[in-house]
């Protein structure tokens, strides 16, 4: 039984006549009458008693009307639910981000999103940018918050949207002698982070005329600061790491020449027009 004919039947029954039903549907009366005849053939019984006053439902018509009402109700519910997804009031987004962003950037963004779009369900996972991009490529994530240093190549197959920059700070033990340039730290031991951060450290130190003596390596910004606080090395950390946690035994110094990080969002191809992904992107942009 064609559900479209059931909805036409329902409109006629509610309007009380073929002509009134036709006007409501925006059809001609002969076209509506033809659909009713076809529906009655499908049902195998008469659905309407026709008179000069309009139409009246037979017992079979009344039974079918209940089914037509149920179908209309389900369609209305489907339309309402689809509108919620289309308008960004509902949806699920899998977000992956690097550790310091998860500590200092993402929580504020998701808290704001929960107030404005409570129906969007965001799940988060932690990964450094190369792994985050791979999660996008494999379909394991919808959106990735990543960073790269100036001059680093980007993936042409997965366009990234810049959403801001993040300054880098020189982290020294509290009470350390004044430092005016990286050259002043040529003889100091260094604490280095992930591979990409370590490459950046080598590059900026090389530009300053020396090769840093990397004494310790850790991705944990809390550990980095603990080592620095005890005089076991100096380091460069992003601003987000210092916002997430600040060891009282350290001091952060702005120093020319140590660069900054470019923050970017990478979306899974095909999600550009998904309202929930757009809402999460909008929430992350001002926070970053």
d(CA 45, CA 42): 8
pLDDT of residue 157: 76
If pLDDT is split at 50, 70 and 90, which confidence band does 127 have?
very high
Which CATH architecture does the domain made up of 91-165+262-287 adopt? 3-Layer(aba) Sandwich (3.40)
Q: Collapse the DSSP code of 59 into the 3-class scheme (helix H, G, I; strand E, B; otherwise coil) and give the result.
A: helix
pLDDT of residue 80: 64
pLDDT of residue 257: 87
Strand partners, 252: 171
pLDDT tens for each residue of 85-116: 666 667 899 999 999 999 999 999 999 999 99
d(CA 49, CA 245): 78
pLDDT of residue 286: 73
pLDDT at 287 over 70: no
Token representation of residue 282: 């909008």
- Rounded to an integer, the average pLDDT of 37-49 is 87
pLDDT tens for each residue of 274-286: 889 989 999 998 7
pLDDT tens for each residue of 154-202: 776 787 889 999 999 999 999 999 999 999 999 999 999 988 899 999 9
pLDDT of residue 160: 86
pLDDT at 262 over 80: yes
pLDDT of residue 152: 79
- The larger pLDDT score, comparing residue 214 to residue 72, is at 214
- What residues does CATH 3.40.190.290 cover in the chain? 166-259
- What residues does CATH 3.40.190.10 cover in the chain? 91-165+262-287
Query: What mean pLDDT value characterizes the chain?
Result: 89
8-state DSSP, 231: T
- The larger pLDDT score, comparing residue 60 to residue 83, is at 60
Token representation of residue 184: 């002043």
Q: What is the CATH number of domain 166-259?
A: 3.40.190.290
pTM: 0.71
- What residues does CATH 1.10.10.10 cover in the chain? 3-86
3-86 folds as Arc Repressor Mutant, subunit A (1.10.10)
């Amino acid at each position: 039984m064609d559900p479209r004919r059931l909805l036409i039947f329902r409109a006629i029954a509610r309007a009380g006549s073929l002509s009134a039903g036709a006007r409501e549907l925006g059809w001609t009366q002969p076209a509506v009458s033809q659909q009713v005849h076809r529906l009655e053939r499908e049902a195998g019984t008469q659905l309407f008693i026709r008179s000069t006053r309009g139409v009246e439902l037979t017992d079979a018509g009344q039974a079918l009307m209940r089914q037509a009402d149920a179908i209309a109700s389900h369609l209305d519910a489907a339309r309402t639910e689809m509108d919620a997804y289309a308008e960004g009031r509902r949806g699920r987004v899998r977000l992956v981000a690097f550790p310091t962003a998860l500590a200092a950037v993402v929580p504020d963004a998701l808290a704001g999103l929960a107030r404005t779009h409570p129906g969007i369900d965001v799940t988060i996972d932690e990964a450094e940018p190369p792994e985050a991009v791979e999660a996008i490529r494999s379909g394991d994530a919808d959106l990735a918050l990543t960073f790269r240093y100036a001059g680093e190549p980007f993936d042409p197959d997965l366009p990234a949207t810049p959403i801001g920059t993040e300054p880098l700070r020189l982290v020294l033990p509290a009470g350390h002698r004044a430092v005016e340039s990286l050259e002043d730290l040529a003889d100091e031991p260094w604490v280095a982070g992930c591979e990409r951060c370590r490459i950046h450290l080598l590059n900026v130190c090389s530009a300053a005329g020396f090769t840093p003596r990397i004494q310790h390596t850790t991705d944990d910004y809390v550990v980095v600061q603990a080592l620095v606080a005890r005089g076991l090395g100096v380091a460069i950390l992003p601003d987000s790491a210092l916002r997430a946690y600040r060891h009282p035994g350290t001091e952060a110094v702005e120093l020319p020449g140590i660069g900054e990080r470019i923050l970017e969002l990478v979306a899974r191809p095909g999600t550009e027009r998904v309202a929930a992904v757009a809402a999460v992107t909008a929430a992350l942009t001002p926070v970053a």
